[in-house]
Amino acid sequence: MPRPSHCLALPSIRTCRPRPISTCSPSQVYSRDVDRLIGPGGASIGELRQRSGARIEIGEEGAGETDVRLHGSDQQRKDAERLVNEHLGYSNAYHPPEDSGAAAKEAPIAWGPIDWGSIKRDSEKAQKEKWEK
């Protein structure tokens, strides 16, 4: 059975060297920004990994957002999060995605009764004009 790379084999015992503390910080980015985060041929994410020292993984997409996992020491994860936010142009303020419908919630539209007869007449008129040309 192969040994993990962080373990040493001694004649009669097997010991493991302590590994640096590394934890994972889940984060999310807008799905529309994933291509920019990765960059052409992975160039952008590679640079962010190198500059931060953290392992940056792109996860699952859901509801317009994609999971991003940051692995490394506390400082590496903080640096990675800062660099990703700078790279994507995110600030600390929340900005809803363009397609989230948040603007419609701010200014509700007052709907009245629908006049289906008028709609049908307008449609028939438009069809007639279209085919007369």
CATH of the domain at 44: 3.30.1370.10
| pTM of the predicted model over 0.85 | no
The verdict on residue 106 lying in a domain is no
pLDDT in tens for each of the 133 residues of the chain? 454 444 444 344 444 444 444 567 677 888 888 999 999 999 999 999 999 999 999 988 888 888 889 999 989 999 998 898 888 888 655 555 555 554 445 555 556 677 888 888 999 999 998 888 7
* DSSP helix/strand/coil, 16: strand
Q: Which residues of 93-131 are buried (b: 16+ CB within 10 A; e: fewer)?
A: eeeeeeeeeeeeeeeeeeeeeeeeeeeeeeeeeeeeeee
The domain total for the chain is 1
Within a domain: residue 116? no
